[in-house]
Amino acid sequence: MEDLKRYIREVPDYPKPGINFYDITTLLKEPQGLRATVDSFGRLLRDRVIDKVVGIESRGFLFGPQLAYQFSAGFVPVRKPGKLPAETVSQSYQLEYGTDELEMHRDAVSVGERVLIVDDVIATGGTAAATAKLVESCGAEVAAFGFVVELTFLDGRGKLSGYDVETLVRY
């Protein structure tokens, strides 16, 4: 799985000095990289029953629908505030400075459904933890999290303890 690293571009000091940005557009544009990514998630999660895949705005949208197709599940977008047209549930979470918020349509997941939450990168885990709260507030269950990239030094996994967290490459 580590050979997926060769498709991921590291951009130093983006979007601000000191941040090393893991750019997955270079993985998406390579047919072998894209196929290996989707297949790897399929193998890691093959024993799970998944009713819905929830993708986190915005790069979770690039992988979520492909995984939903593979698991014969539906796809649900979790978005920044004000983007979804119908009734939403919302969850705020802590950033380094200040707070941010995520929203999901209230009827997007149902009581008892099993949900896979997907994003490109897990850093501190705050975004993913807030998404889990959204899913659970609607009575659904988080079956697993799937991330292409895990930044282990930020211990996002710690914020998701008790959950099944699957990642393809680690830095």
Please report, as ranges, the residues that interact with ligand AMP according to CB under 6 A: 19-22, 56, 59, 119-128, 156
> Of the two residues 146 and 156, which places its CB atom closer to ligand AMP in the complex?
156
**Residues 148, 149, 154, CA angle at the centre, nearest 5°?**
145
**Minimum distance between the CB of residue 90 and ligand AMP, rounded to whole angstroms?**
16
CA 139 → CA 43, 77, 114, distances in Å? 27, 17, 10
Comparing CA positions, the residue from 113, 145, 143 lying closest to residue 126 is 145
The catalytically annotated residue of 2, 59, 136, 150 is 59
Here the tokens at position 121 are 């990168």
User: How far from the centroid of its chain's Cα atoms is residue 23's Cα?
Assistant: 15
CB 59, CB 24: distance < 8 Å: yes
96 catalytically annotated? yes
User: How many whole angstroms separate alpha carbon 112 and alpha carbon 5?
Assistant: 36
Phi, psi of 15 (to 5 degrees): -85, 0
CB 95, CB 126: distance < 8 Å: yes
**Minimum distance between the CB of residue 3 and ligand AMP, rounded to whole angstroms?**
19
> Of the two residues 38 and 154, which places its CB atom closer to ligand AMP in the complex?
154
59 catalytically annotated? yes
> Of the two residues 112 and 122, which places its CB atom closer to ligand AMP in the complex?
122
> Of the two residues 13 and 107, which places its CB atom closer to ligand AMP in the complex?
13
The catalytically annotated residue of 43, 46, 87, 96 is 96
Residues designated as active site: 59, 96
